[in-house]
Structure 1
Amino acid sequence: MKKLMLIAASALFMMTGCDENKAEKTADVKTAAPVVNQTAPAAQPAAEQNVVKSVDWDKALEMNAAGAVFVDVRNPPELNEGYAPNAVNIPLPELKQRMGELAKDKDLLIYCRSGRRSDAATRILMEQGYDRVYNVLGGYLAYPKK
Structure 2
Amino acid sequence: MKKILYSFLILSSVALSAQKNPSVKFAVANDVVGTVGMFNARKAIVQSSNVYKAPSALPQGLKKYSFIAEKGLTEYKIKNGYEDLDRISLAQLNSQYGVPENTPVFIEGYEFSDSNMSIYGDIMGNVEVKDYNGKKTVFLSTSALK
Given the two structures, how large is their TM-score scaled by the length of structure 1?
0.30
Judging by fraction of residues, say which structure has more strand.
Answer: 2
TM-score, normalised to structure 2's length?
A: 0.30
